Amino acid sequence: MRIATWNVNSLKARLERVEGWLERARPDVLLLQETKLSDADAPVMPFAMAGYQLVHHGEGRWNGVAIAVRNGLAVSDVETNFGDGPVRDSGAGATLSQADEDFNPFDEARVVAATVEGVRVVSIYAPNGRLVGSPFFAGKLAWFERLSGWLAAQPDPAAPLVIGGDYNIAPSDADVWDPRAMHGGTHVSPEERAAFRRLLEAGLVDAYRALRSEPARYTWWDYRAGNFQRNFGMRIDHLLVTPAVAGRLVWAEIDRETRKGKPTPSDHTPLVIDLDEPGLPFDAGWSSAEARIAARTAGRD
């Protein structure tokens, strides 16, 4: 089974990209974040034409998560928002301002779960936090506490489980392009890293790091000119798995190539794991990029 996660930064804007990547990588399960769509506007038909069922949990202009599952695989037990009830409507006509985004993360479309062929898969889009010490930062930490509580309440902690998505946390200094430049900001604060560490202490395994130790491999690069080309990025998208899944891992990769080209890509790129046997091969582009990145960053202190 191939499972991937990808923050697409608007599924409507990136639909052509996603359709192409489904053909390129042929995942069995693709966890999507930041779809920025209501459920009524979710592109169920295009996914069906591509050979996938789409489970979508959205609110409108912001946030939104989804799970795409290859046709023929059994999907059951869909759950949204930690099972805590409906979320807000941020669609057209809603009485919300940009200032409201992230203030109450429990009222936003950030979690969808389903069981696929006996594996519980969860797509999450963690709050950004914006500024350390702000109400948005406090909301982010509270949201991670809720995630930990939801995990602890699972009926069988030994069951196969994958929690994938945009965690908006770089777990260590090895996961950011320059720890000095990031110091004091969100995504790398001690509080955020402690929240991530608690998930690992609860028994989850960082699937990428279980197989890959290469430095400077990131999943997100800012759109500002040159950041991607110089590899000024962060590893903030993760697939955390229970030991029952970790024991089945055979391959993991970050698909750098998908951050390139036209139409405009997302600022994130897919993270992929294979269970039991390798899926369709593809060139993620890291080896060919290393010399170019080194040349562009030569002389940087």
Flag the least confident range among 72-81, 146-155, 187-196, 288-297.
Answer: 288-297
pLDDT confidence band for 92 (50 / 70 / 90) = confident
Indicate the SS3 state at residue 71. Answer: coil
Lowest mean pLDDT among 24-38, 64-78, 98-112, 163-177: 98-112
Q: What is the mean pLDDT of residues 51-55?
A: 98
**pTM strictly above 0.85:** yes
pLDDT, mean of residues 151-163 = 94
Contact 294, 300 (CB under 8 A): no
Query: Which of 267, 251, 256 is closest to 292 using CA atoms?
Result: 256
Query: Region 236-258: what's the mean pLDDT?
Result: 98
- Mean per-residue pLDDT over the chain, rounded: 95
Which CATH number is associated with domain 2-296? Answer: 3.60.10.10
Sign of CA dihedral 73, 78, 80, 83: negative
Which two three-digit tokens encode residue 266?
């997302």
Taking 90 as the threshold, does the pLDDT of residue 99 lie above it? Answer: no
Higher model confidence: residue 67 or residue 224? 67
pLDDT exceeds 60 at position 79: yes
Q: DSSP class of residue 266?
A: P
Task: Evaluate if residue 100 carries a pLDDT over 90.
Answer: no
Q: How many residues does the chain have?
A: 301
Alpha-carbon span 17 to 264, nearest angstrom:
9
User: Residue 301: is its pLDDT beyond 50?
Assistant: no
Whether residue 17 is predicted with pLDDT greater than 70 in this model: the reply is yes
Range in 165-174, 247-256, 281-290 with the lowest mean pLDDT: 281-290
Q: Where are the domains of the chain?
A: 2-296
- Counting DSSP H helices and E strands in the chain, the numbers are 8, 14
What's the average model confidence in pLDDT over 257-274?
Answer: 96
